Copies of this chain bind each other. A is one copy, B any other.
């Protein structure tokens, strides 16, 4: 495909020769015929060494020697270039004869269900949804259209999913929440009789668990994307278009607004409220409410810049300790 054709499809401005492009690759691995991209400024110096035939670049980057496509958002343009050159995995079509379809199940048009999948009684699955082999839907689950559930996904009884939801392998939606009443040293299970509701366009990474509510509902708003190994506890409510990175955990009944970004390995306590447009950096511990737009880090959390200063100063702690001893000696301060 000509670079000019790609430019047109992606709505980018072409600079340099109209070369022939045959594939897409990363900047280090690219070869002749490949188009690549730079969005992270860290990689700009590699433009000089890449073998790519063309690069998707920010409009603000100075002229370069090889042909380029210029755009305000090179990462997004790259994503769309991938869609031009690569066809997504095609599932086996239709309902595999070994799939167990319970009584009262209603399937839309064009639904694909793989081998050894189990669809519980009274589930409803929307048009063009694909369920890969060895996936289990418990009874009374509602799934929208154009969803993709990969192998070893569990959706537990009564949970509801929107349209275009993608669940990577091993996701568990609606496992029992962790609720026990301890009486005289013995832990009694609190029945977890609520459910989970997942909005449209949500994607959830491998093995992430979203626990069902004790009563009522655990909710994930539309457009939110969650990485692998994230733990969403019972009765948590997450807004729209959030990003939650791997190994983070959100404890019970906490409410999170829209467009919130949570880094990796973050812990958020239960029963708090986090506003819209909040950012929490990786490995932080959040134990209080956060207002709209707060950008925080550390444990205890502080405003992000302050948390970076605190971390930097921690390196000097042993030296500070010695200084204080020296000062106390000089001033003859005793314990």
Contacts and interface: CB of A to CB of B under 8 A. Distances in A.
A48 interface: no
Given A231-B228, A249-B246, A282 B310 contact: no
A215 B24 contact: yes
Given A134-B118, A207-B170, A228-B178, A241 B154 contact: no
A317 B313 contact: yes
B246 A233 contact: yes
A291 B89 CA distance: 39
A251 interface: yes
Contact of A235 (B26, B214, B258): B26
A76 B190 CA distance: 7
Interface stretch (A58-66, A78-86, A104-112): A78-86
Contact of A209 (B154, B157, B181, B206): B206
B136 A191 contact: no
Interface of A: 24-26, 29, 40, 42, 73, 75-76, 78-79, 82-83, 86, 88-89, 96, 98, 100, 114-116, 118, 132-134, 136, 138-139, 150-152, 154, 156-157, 166, 168-170, 172, 175-176, 178-183, 185-191, 193, 203, 205-207, 209, 211, 213-217, 223-225, 227-229, 231, 233, 235, 241, 243, 245-247, 249, 251, 258-259, 264-265, 267, 269, 271, 282-283, 285, 298-300, 302, 306, 309-318, 320-321, 323-324, 326-328, 330-331, 333
B324 A313 contact: no
A183 B187 CA distance: 46
B175 A154 contact: no
A311 B316 contact: no
Contacts of A187: 223-225, 241, 243
B249 A267 contact: no
Contacts of A203: 176, 189
Contacts of A209: 170, 205-207, 228-229
A234 to B, nearest CB: 10
